[in-house]
């Protein structure tokens, strides 16, 4: 039995659901104290560290580890969660200047005062932001975190038609377990994209960052100059020294 597990969290599960599924399939971990240092959103996949028994005493140490991601940012859209699992709004049609886009992305390297997503577990006056957001009670001032983008670059840029985009989004949302407003969100995406042949740009990024960085917030902030930006795909490829190639699959 290991004291730390490099678990591959699939799309659709919360970290807790992934942990419990692993525990169910591996009887030797029944009754053991297990937790994870850092969340991974339901729409994201990749490395999720799980601490077992005595290793939980080192939680703060593991929480400080740097993270690496592959992120696909869809330009021209906004959602209230800053990824596809949110209520979507389409920006006005605008030609994207590639030079401006590359300059914008490069500008995020370094220290970054990041406004957290309202659909997050950050607490305001003892209450999780996502609970306040779902009740329509978003605070007038959203907390900001000081994080650091240690490296960021464009891998490549591609285009996708609205019709194919809708199919991809619905397939991913259908993987979700639990109540995340899925039916209402899917209906909104259908209204925006059904039978659309309009083409949208997607930027594939590599990001290495400090702990606490919300890549959804980064996607939002990159998209501010380009009629919106949201996460279409997010894969966490590394946490500290723990790499995705060594992750345990369920």
246 is catalytic: no
The whole-angstrom separation of Cα 232 and Cα 169 is 8
Contacts with 72 (C-beta within 8 Å, 6 or more apart), sequence order: 202, 203, 204, 205, 231, 232, 233, 234
Contact 223, 121 (CB under 8 A): no
CA-to-CA separations, 95 to 77, 92, 157, 191, in angstroms, rounded: 14, 10, 14, 23
Residues β-bridged to residue 160: 200
Active-site residues, by number, are 41
């Amino acid at each position: 039995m290991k004291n730390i597990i490099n678990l591959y969290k699939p799309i659709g599960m919360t970290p807790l659901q992934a942990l419990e599924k692993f525990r169910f399939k591996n009887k030797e971990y029944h009754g053991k104290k297990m937790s994870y240092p850092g969340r991974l959103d339901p729409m994201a996949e990749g490395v999720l560290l799980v601490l077992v028994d005595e290793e939980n005493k080192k939680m703060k140490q593991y929480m400080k580890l740097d993270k690496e991601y592959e992120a696909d940012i869809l330009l021209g859209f906004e959602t209230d969660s800053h990824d596809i699992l949110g209520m979507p709004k389409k920006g006005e049609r605008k030609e994207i200047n590639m030079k401006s886009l590359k300059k914008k992305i490069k500008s995020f390297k370094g220290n970054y005062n990041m406004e957290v997503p309202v659909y997050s577990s950050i607490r305001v006056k003892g209450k999780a932001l996502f609970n306040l957001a779902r009740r329509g009670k978003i605070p007038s001032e959203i907390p900001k975190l000081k994080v650091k983008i240690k490296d960021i670059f464009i891998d490549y840029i591609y285009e996708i038609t609205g019709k194919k985009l809708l199919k991809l989004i619905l397939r991913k949302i259908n993987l979700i377990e639990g109540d995340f407003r899925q039916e209402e969100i899917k209906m909104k995406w259908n209204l925006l994209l059904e039978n659309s042949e309009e083409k949208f740009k997607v930027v594939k990024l590599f990001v290495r960052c400090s702990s606490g960085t919300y890549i959804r917030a980064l996607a939002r902030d990159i998209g501010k100059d380009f009629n919106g930006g949201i996460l279409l795909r997010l894969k966490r490829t590394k946490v500290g020294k723990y790499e995705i190639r060594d992750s345990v699959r369920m």
